[in-house]
Amino acid sequence: MANAQASPRKMPKLDATADTNGDSQDILEEIDAIQTQLDSLNDQASDEILKVEQKYNQMRKPHYNKRSALIGKIPDFWLNTFMNHPQIAALLDEADEEVLRYMTQLTVEETEDIRSGYKIIFEFKTNPFFENNQLVKEFTMSESGDMGTTETKINWKAGMALTEKNGDKGKGKVGGKRDRDDPPSFFSWFEDNSMGGDEVGEVIKDDIWANPMQYYLDLDEEEDLEDDPEDDPEDEEEGDEGGDDGAAGEEEEEE
Protein backbone atom coordinates (compact mmCIF):
# COMPACT_ATOMS: atom_id res chain seq x y z
CA MET A 1 0.00 0.00 0.00
CA ALA A 2 1.72 3.16 -1.22
CA ASN A 3 2.09 6.09 1.13
CA ALA A 4 1.16 9.61 0.10
CA GLN A 5 4.09 11.60 -1.19
CA ALA A 6 5.62 13.74 1.52
CA SER A 7 4.72 17.40 1.12
CA PRO A 8 7.44 20.05 1.46
CA ARG A 9 7.64 21.69 4.86
CA LYS A 10 7.47 25.44 5.20
CA MET A 11 10.69 26.92 6.46
CA PRO A 12 10.49 29.71 9.02
CA LYS A 13 12.04 32.97 7.93
CA LEU A 14 15.21 33.97 9.70
CA ASP A 15 15.67 37.29 11.44
CA ALA A 16 17.41 39.47 8.86
CA THR A 17 19.52 41.09 11.62
CA ALA A 18 20.92 37.68 12.54
CA ASP A 19 22.23 37.01 9.02
CA THR A 20 24.11 39.85 7.45
CA ASN A 21 25.06 37.80 4.38
CA GLY A 22 21.51 36.65 3.66
CA ASP A 23 22.72 33.13 2.76
CA SER A 24 21.46 31.06 5.69
CA GLN A 25 17.82 31.09 4.63
CA ASP A 26 18.67 29.80 1.14
CA ILE A 27 20.91 27.07 2.59
CA LEU A 28 18.26 25.92 5.05
CA GLU A 29 15.67 25.75 2.31
CA GLU A 30 18.00 23.57 0.24
CA ILE A 31 18.58 21.29 3.25
CA ASP A 32 14.82 21.06 3.79
CA ALA A 33 14.26 20.15 0.13
CA ILE A 34 16.84 17.37 0.43
CA GLN A 35 15.19 16.11 3.61
CA THR A 36 11.85 15.97 1.82
CA GLN A 37 13.43 13.84 -0.89
CA LEU A 38 14.91 11.54 1.79
CA ASP A 39 11.51 11.20 3.47
CA SER A 40 9.99 10.22 0.14
CA LEU A 41 12.69 7.58 -0.39
CA ASN A 42 12.11 6.24 3.13
CA ASP A 43 8.41 5.88 2.36
CA GLN A 44 9.21 4.02 -0.85
CA ALA A 45 11.63 1.76 1.03
CA SER A 46 8.94 0.95 3.61
CA ASP A 47 6.55 -0.04 0.84
CA GLU A 48 9.16 -2.26 -0.83
CA ILE A 49 10.10 -3.89 2.49
CA LEU A 50 6.41 -4.56 3.17
CA LYS A 51 6.04 -6.32 -0.19
CA VAL A 52 9.05 -8.53 0.58
CA GLU A 53 7.68 -9.40 4.04
CA GLN A 54 4.31 -10.30 2.53
CA LYS A 55 5.99 -12.51 -0.07
CA TYR A 56 8.04 -14.42 2.49
CA ASN A 57 5.12 -14.75 4.90
CA GLN A 58 3.35 -16.72 2.18
CA MET A 59 6.46 -18.81 1.55
CA ARG A 60 6.77 -19.66 5.25
CA LYS A 61 3.23 -20.99 5.61
CA PRO A 62 3.79 -24.56 4.32
CA HIS A 63 6.84 -24.87 6.58
CA TYR A 64 4.82 -23.69 9.57
CA ASN A 65 2.14 -26.26 8.71
CA LYS A 66 4.67 -29.10 8.56
CA ARG A 67 6.24 -27.97 11.82
CA SER A 68 2.86 -27.81 13.56
CA ALA A 69 1.97 -31.32 12.41
CA LEU A 70 5.19 -32.66 13.96
CA ILE A 71 4.86 -30.62 17.14
CA GLY A 72 1.38 -32.08 17.64
CA LYS A 73 2.97 -35.51 18.13
CA ILE A 74 5.05 -34.37 21.13
CA PRO A 75 3.20 -34.39 24.50
CA ASP A 76 3.32 -31.13 26.48
CA PHE A 77 5.39 -29.41 23.81
CA TRP A 78 3.81 -25.98 24.24
CA LEU A 79 3.61 -26.27 28.03
CA ASN A 80 7.35 -26.93 28.26
CA THR A 81 8.08 -24.23 25.70
CA PHE A 82 6.13 -21.64 27.70
CA MET A 83 7.66 -22.75 30.99
CA ASN A 84 11.17 -22.36 29.59
CA HIS A 85 10.58 -18.83 28.30
CA PRO A 86 11.39 -16.34 31.10
CA GLN A 87 8.73 -13.76 30.24
CA ILE A 88 5.91 -16.23 29.62
CA ALA A 89 6.89 -18.41 32.59
CA ALA A 90 6.39 -15.36 34.83
CA LEU A 91 2.69 -15.45 33.91
CA LEU A 92 2.17 -19.14 34.65
CA ASP A 93 0.83 -20.42 37.93
CA GLU A 94 0.16 -24.07 38.73
CA ALA A 95 -3.43 -23.92 37.48
CA ASP A 96 -2.32 -22.39 34.17
CA GLU A 97 0.19 -25.19 33.73
CA GLU A 98 -2.49 -27.82 34.26
CA VAL A 99 -4.65 -26.26 31.54
CA LEU A 100 -1.74 -25.87 29.12
CA ARG A 101 -1.12 -29.61 29.28
CA TYR A 102 -4.18 -29.86 27.02
CA MET A 103 -2.85 -27.34 24.49
CA THR A 104 -2.07 -28.99 21.16
CA GLN A 105 -1.25 -26.16 18.74
CA LEU A 106 -0.18 -22.53 18.61
CA THR A 107 -0.58 -20.45 15.45
CA VAL A 108 0.22 -16.81 14.71
CA GLU A 109 -1.45 -15.18 11.71
CA GLU A 110 -0.51 -11.67 10.61
CA THR A 111 -2.89 -9.43 8.71
CA GLU A 112 -2.28 -9.19 4.99
CA ASP A 113 -0.74 -5.74 5.27
CA ILE A 114 1.23 -6.86 8.38
CA ARG A 115 1.14 -3.36 9.86
CA SER A 116 -2.44 -3.43 11.13
CA GLY A 117 -2.13 -6.39 13.48
CA TYR A 118 -2.11 -10.14 14.00
CA LYS A 119 -3.89 -12.88 15.92
CA ILE A 120 -2.71 -15.72 18.12
CA ILE A 121 -4.65 -18.98 17.99
CA PHE A 122 -4.41 -21.48 20.86
CA GLU A 123 -5.88 -24.94 20.20
CA PHE A 124 -6.85 -27.42 22.93
CA LYS A 125 -8.03 -30.98 23.12
CA THR A 126 -11.04 -31.84 25.27
CA ASN A 127 -10.26 -30.81 28.84
CA PRO A 128 -11.97 -30.45 32.23
CA PHE A 129 -11.56 -26.66 32.34
CA PHE A 130 -13.50 -25.13 29.43
CA GLU A 131 -15.65 -26.07 26.45
CA ASN A 132 -13.64 -24.23 23.78
CA ASN A 133 -11.40 -26.14 21.40
CA GLN A 134 -9.86 -22.90 20.15
CA LEU A 135 -9.04 -19.58 21.83
CA VAL A 136 -8.12 -16.56 19.71
CA LYS A 137 -6.60 -13.27 20.83
CA GLU A 138 -6.50 -10.65 18.08
CA PHE A 139 -4.34 -7.53 18.13
CA THR A 140 -5.43 -4.59 15.99
CA MET A 141 -3.57 -1.33 15.43
CA SER A 142 -5.85 1.70 15.41
CA GLU A 143 -5.37 4.73 13.16
CA SER A 144 -3.93 6.58 16.15
CA GLY A 145 -1.27 3.87 16.57
CA ASP A 146 -2.73 2.29 19.72
CA MET A 147 -2.92 -1.50 19.95
CA GLY A 148 -6.31 -2.91 20.89
CA THR A 149 -7.29 -6.53 21.48
CA THR A 150 -10.33 -8.74 21.17
CA GLU A 151 -10.53 -12.22 22.69
CA THR A 152 -12.59 -15.36 22.44
CA LYS A 153 -14.94 -15.68 25.39
CA ILE A 154 -13.77 -18.66 27.42
CA ASN A 155 -16.68 -20.97 28.27
CA TRP A 156 -15.40 -22.18 31.62
CA LYS A 157 -16.92 -25.34 33.02
CA ALA A 158 -18.68 -25.10 36.38
CA GLY A 159 -16.26 -24.22 39.17
CA MET A 160 -13.21 -24.26 36.88
CA ALA A 161 -12.81 -20.58 35.94
CA LEU A 162 -9.17 -19.77 36.63
CA THR A 163 -9.73 -16.05 36.25
CA GLU A 164 -12.15 -15.90 39.17
CA LYS A 165 -11.32 -16.05 42.85
CA ASN A 166 -11.80 -19.32 44.67
CA GLY A 167 -12.72 -17.71 48.00
CA ASP A 168 -9.93 -19.39 49.95
CA LYS A 169 -8.92 -17.92 53.33
CA GLY A 170 -11.98 -15.67 53.31
CA LYS A 171 -10.68 -13.48 50.49
CA GLY A 172 -13.59 -12.35 48.35
CA LYS A 173 -16.62 -14.31 47.30
CA VAL A 174 -16.56 -17.65 45.56
CA GLY A 175 -16.57 -17.00 41.85
CA GLY A 176 -15.75 -13.31 42.32
CA LYS A 177 -13.69 -11.50 39.72
CA ARG A 178 -9.96 -11.18 40.26
CA ASP A 179 -8.68 -7.88 41.65
CA ARG A 180 -6.19 -5.77 39.73
CA ASP A 181 -3.72 -6.42 42.58
CA ASP A 182 -3.89 -10.19 42.10
CA PRO A 183 -0.75 -11.74 40.58
CA PRO A 184 -1.02 -11.92 36.79
CA SER A 185 -1.63 -15.28 35.18
CA PHE A 186 -1.69 -16.56 31.62
CA PHE A 187 -5.47 -16.72 31.35
CA SER A 188 -6.02 -13.40 33.11
CA TRP A 189 -3.73 -11.93 30.43
CA PHE A 190 -5.77 -13.66 27.74
CA GLU A 191 -9.13 -12.40 29.01
CA ASP A 192 -8.11 -8.89 30.03
CA ASN A 193 -7.42 -6.49 27.15
CA SER A 194 -5.90 -3.88 29.48
CA MET A 195 -2.95 -5.91 30.82
CA GLY A 196 -0.29 -4.80 28.37
CA GLY A 197 -1.33 -7.55 26.02
CA ASP A 198 0.64 -6.12 23.16
CA GLU A 199 3.94 -6.84 24.94
CA VAL A 200 3.10 -10.46 25.74
CA GLY A 201 1.61 -10.91 22.29
CA GLU A 202 4.78 -9.60 20.65
CA VAL A 203 6.86 -12.08 22.67
CA ILE A 204 4.69 -14.97 21.50
CA LYS A 205 4.65 -13.75 17.88
CA ASP A 206 8.27 -12.70 17.41
CA ASP A 207 10.05 -15.00 19.84
CA ILE A 208 8.18 -18.22 20.60
CA TRP A 209 6.34 -18.66 17.30
CA ALA A 210 9.46 -17.81 15.31
CA ASN A 211 11.50 -20.60 16.94
CA PRO A 212 9.77 -22.61 19.69
CA MET A 213 12.41 -25.35 19.64
CA GLN A 214 15.03 -23.20 21.34
CA TYR A 215 12.79 -22.91 24.40
CA TYR A 216 11.41 -26.44 24.36
CA LEU A 217 14.95 -27.86 24.38
CA ASP A 218 16.21 -25.51 27.07
CA LEU A 219 15.13 -27.79 29.93
CA ASP A 220 16.69 -30.86 28.30
CA GLU A 221 20.01 -29.06 27.83
CA GLU A 222 20.11 -28.06 31.50
CA GLU A 223 19.36 -31.62 32.58
CA ASP A 224 22.14 -32.97 30.36
CA LEU A 225 24.61 -30.63 32.00
CA GLU A 226 23.44 -31.58 35.49
CA ASP A 227 23.67 -35.32 34.77
CA ASP A 228 27.15 -35.21 33.17
CA PRO A 229 29.68 -36.39 35.81
CA GLU A 230 32.63 -35.28 33.68
CA ASP A 231 31.62 -31.65 34.08
CA ASP A 232 31.22 -31.80 37.88
CA PRO A 233 33.75 -29.36 39.42
CA GLU A 234 33.36 -30.96 42.87
CA ASP A 235 34.66 -34.27 41.54
CA GLU A 236 37.68 -32.50 40.10
CA GLU A 237 38.37 -30.73 43.40
CA GLU A 238 38.13 -34.01 45.34
CA GLY A 239 40.51 -35.61 42.88
CA ASP A 240 43.00 -32.80 43.32
CA GLU A 241 42.79 -33.05 47.12
CA GLY A 242 43.33 -36.80 46.98
CA GLY A 243 46.40 -36.29 44.82
CA ASP A 244 47.84 -33.80 47.27
CA ASP A 245 47.28 -36.16 50.22
CA GLY A 246 48.96 -39.00 48.34
CA ALA A 247 51.98 -36.86 47.56
CA ALA A 248 52.26 -35.78 51.18
CA GLY A 249 52.17 -39.43 52.31
CA GLU A 250 54.99 -40.36 49.96
CA GLU A 251 57.15 -37.54 51.34
CA GLU A 252 56.58 -38.74 54.91
CA GLU A 253 57.66 -42.30 53.99
CA GLU A 254 60.85 -41.06 52.38
CA GLU A 255 61.77 -39.18 55.56
Average pLDDT of the chain, as a whole number? 79
Helix (H, G, I), strand (E, B) or coil at 58: helix
The pTM is what? 0.69
From start to end of 36-188, where are the E strands? 103-110, 117-124, 134-141, 147-151
Query: What is the pLDDT at residue 178?
Result: 43
Query: What is the pLDDT at residue 157?
Result: 97
> C-alpha 12: how far from its chain's center?
45
Are the beta carbons of 18 and 12 closer than 8 angstroms? no
DSSP string of 134-160?
A: EEEEEEEE-TTS-EEEEEPPP-BPTT-
Query: What is the pLDDT at residue 227?
Result: 55
Report d(CA 225, CA 217) in Å as an integer: 13
Q: What percent of the chain has pLDDT over 70?
A: 68
Amino acid letter for position 115 = R
